[in-house]
Amino acid sequence: MKYHLITFGCQMNKSDSERIAARLQNIGYEKTTDIKQSDLIIVNMCSVRQSAVDRVYGLANQFLELKKKNVQFKVGLTGCLLNQDRKKMEKFFDFIFNIKDLNNLEKIILQQKIDFEKSPQDYLSLLPKINSKISAFVPIMTGCNNFCSYCVVPYTRGREFSRPEQEIIKEVKSLIKKGFLEIILLGQNVNSYHQNIKTLRHKNKAINFPKLLQMIDNFSENFWLTFLTSHPKDLSDELIKVMAQSKKIIKYLHLPVQSGDNEILKKMNRHYTVQDYKNLIKKIRKKIPGITISTDIIVGFPGETKKQFKNTARLLKKIKFDQVYIAQYSPRAGTKAALIKDDVLKEEKHQREKTLNKILEKTALKNNKKLIGQTLEILVKNCKNNQYYGQTKNFKNVKINLEKSNKAELFFPQPKIGQFVKAKIIKATPWGLEGIIN
């Protein structure tokens, strides 16, 4: 029996899909990338944006066709799923399950009665089937207690749950032993790891996120360590200090600001002001020079005036981000923001996104140009049509120009992908760098 997985959404969903793949292979399924060959499809969906929900509806006809051709064919749904979406989607799927019930997947597929004997969070202890050979996601927590007014995560994933550190350490050690060179710790808000101590197995001796990072940083092997995502209100001085002193933690921080206007931030329930955010960035850049900083912005939040949007544009110019992930606001049923009229026109949201992208293009280029002439350590991650691509330790993409490299032979005969090399940066664009080996 063959399975095919379709994943939407963030890194956390991608990481969950690696666990779904492992579970399916444990119970005898074989992976296929060809949807037409599959006997089982599992869609791991995301309700965070309407566009992802619409794409799941778009697949429904394809599933009906597959059912007609293969009587054994089944299709299941999991992931970040709002109740109202679940009800509407029931008719397209043979089964819908909560990712926390992954250990019961075999029974769920067979539509047998389930005895929920395992802890619902135990699915995280299942070893994943990792897609990459270089980078591995390790979830350290799931869920969120923050209830930002636009976000469905606290409703779809539930409240925060932190994995015991022993389990995380064991997983990281085994990944490093297998040769993974980049470990990415995941959580909706990694900074609140163990803040609400709800681990099932050890309630008394819990450590916080900076201490967890330190423990992993102390491993003797050569690898890079990073994490996603941080909430500005919870990013502590202790974490900045650990990052600044670490040899393995890469110089990169994704710190979603969402808006550059205090009134909008309040409506978003973000619990910081624009000045708090600016102060935080100043402190981080002072302690960790050369750090790459990216952020998330929502344009067209209900009631966002032109003046309030200009404050966001001003913040982007001031901070000079290296990357900005911009989302046009769309109401998600069940959230507080959905109760406010979505009054910014689609065309205006589009225009605001365009304006921010133009600012980003300039700031990112300016930041990248500063790296020209520097020789940086690069992890080679990819090769397409004989062209190698890598990433610097401050999270910049680098195209490796072997034709111009004086010492290209250092790169060959092996290893190539998964190799650390030193490259001199010779060119910069807003979206990446070009380097030579010499």
Binding site for ligand SF4 (CB under 6 A): 144, 146-148, 151, 153-154, 188-189, 231
To the nearest whole angstrom, how small is the minimum distance from the Cβ of residue 86 to ligand SF4?
19
Alpha helices in 143-257 (DSSP H): 153-156, 165-177, 209-217, 237-245
Residue 148 CB, shortest distance to ligand SF4, in Å, is 3
CA gap 134, 122 in Å, rounded: 25
Return the number of other C-beta atoms located less than 10 Å from residue 1's C-beta.
14
> Residue 259 or 368: which CB sits closer to ligand SF4?
259
- Minimum distance of ligand SF4 from residue 53's CB (angstroms): 16
Q: Which residues contact 345 (CB under 8 A, 6 or more apart)?
A: none
Q: Are 433 and 392 in contact (CB under 8 A)?
A: yes
Q: Where are the beta strands (DSSP E) in 91-208?
A: 95-96, 135-139, 141-142, 161-162, 182-186
Residue 98: how many other CB atoms lie within 10 Å? 16
* C-alpha distances in Å from residue 67, one per residue of 4, 88, 96: 14, 20, 17
Which of residues 189 and 226 has its CB atom nearest to ligand SF4 in the complex? 189
229, 190 Cβ separation under 8 angstroms: yes
Distance in Å, CB of 145 to ligand SF4, minimum: 8
Q: Of the two residues 5 and 297, which places its CB atom closer to ligand SF4 in the complex?
A: 297
Q: Which two tokens stand for residue 191?
A: 């900074």
Tokens 């679940």, located at residue: 86
Q: How far is the CB of 367 from ligand SF4 (least distance, A)?
A: 25
Smallest separation (angstroms) from ligand SF4 to the CB of 334 = 12
Q: Which is nearer to ligand SF4, 116 or 147 (CB)?
A: 147
Shorter beta-carbon distance to ligand SF4: residue 231 or 381: 231
Q: Which is nearer to ligand SF4, 83 or 112 (CB)?
A: 83
Minimum distance between the CB of residue 295 and ligand SF4, rounded to whole angstroms?
12
Residue found by looking up tokens 């850049």 in the block? 285
Nearer to ligand SF4, 154 or 435 (CB): 154
